[in-house]
Amino acid sequence: MDTGTLIIAAASVFTILSAIGVLLTRDNLYAALYMSVTMLLIAAIYAAYNIQQVVVFIAFVFVGAVGMITIAIAATYRYIPAKKISVGWIIPVIIVFAITSYFYYGFATFNLKTQELSLGFEKLSTEYMVLLVFLFSLIVIMMLSAIKLARRVEL
């Protein structure tokens, strides 16, 4: 196992551990914090493959914007629910994970070599700009619709 694979394996282990933290913690605030750490570790896996464009998107858009709003709303509604995880659900999850991982181990036997990633930001200014403008417009329209709904509820 080479150094790159070791780094990815370590980041993957910490990703799974922080995701388990989301499952096991009783406080919504800590669950949101664990979720943000999980997303940042997923971005770290992308960084290990030198896919910096996706790292920027995940860190700034998904964690920086949506994750921070989730943390803020979790701190507002810091409700501590009773534990309801039953062993009856954990057993089929472990079985599904074992069977799927067995086939992954048999068929997914090669390392990843990423392609043409240095061209990402150059293409961003030309090919993806229309797409990004369209997606920003989509978010603005959806938030305007949400504000309209909120005003209707207040009335």
Partner 1 sequence: MSQLFIILATSLAVLLIAYLTAISARDLIRLLISLELMFGAVFLAILPLFSLQASTAFAIVVLTIFTSSSELLVLITAIVLLDRSKRGIELEKVAVGGETL
Interactions with partner 1, residue window 30-69 (CB under 8 A): 31-32, 35, 38-39, 42, 45-46, 49, 51, 53-54, 57-58, 61-62, 65-67, 69
Instruction: Determine if 16 is a binding residue for partner 1 (CB under 8 A).
Output: yes
Residues 88-117 that bind partner 1 (CB under 8 A): 89-90, 93, 96-97, 100-101, 104-105, 108-117
Q: Is 150 in the site for partner 1 (CB under 8 A)?
A: yes
Q: Is the dihedral of CA 41, 43, 101, 96 positive or negative?
A: positive
Q: How far is the CB of 121 from partner 1 (least distance, A)?
A: 10
Straight-line distance from the first to the last Cα atom of the chain, in angstroms, rounded to the nearest whole number: 63
Q: Write 35-44 long-range contacts (CB < 8 A, 24+).
A: 35/67, 35/70, 36/63, 36/67, 36/68, 36/70, 36/71, 39/63, 39/67, 41/11, 41/14, 41/15, 42/15, 44/11
Residue number, 108 or 125, with CB nearest to partner 1: 108
Q: Which two tokens stand for residue 128?
A: 């993806």
Which residues inside 118-137 make contact with partner 1, applying CB under 8 A? 119-120, 123, 127-128, 131-132, 135-136
Question: Of 89 and 125, which has the nearer Cβ to partner 1?
Answer: 89
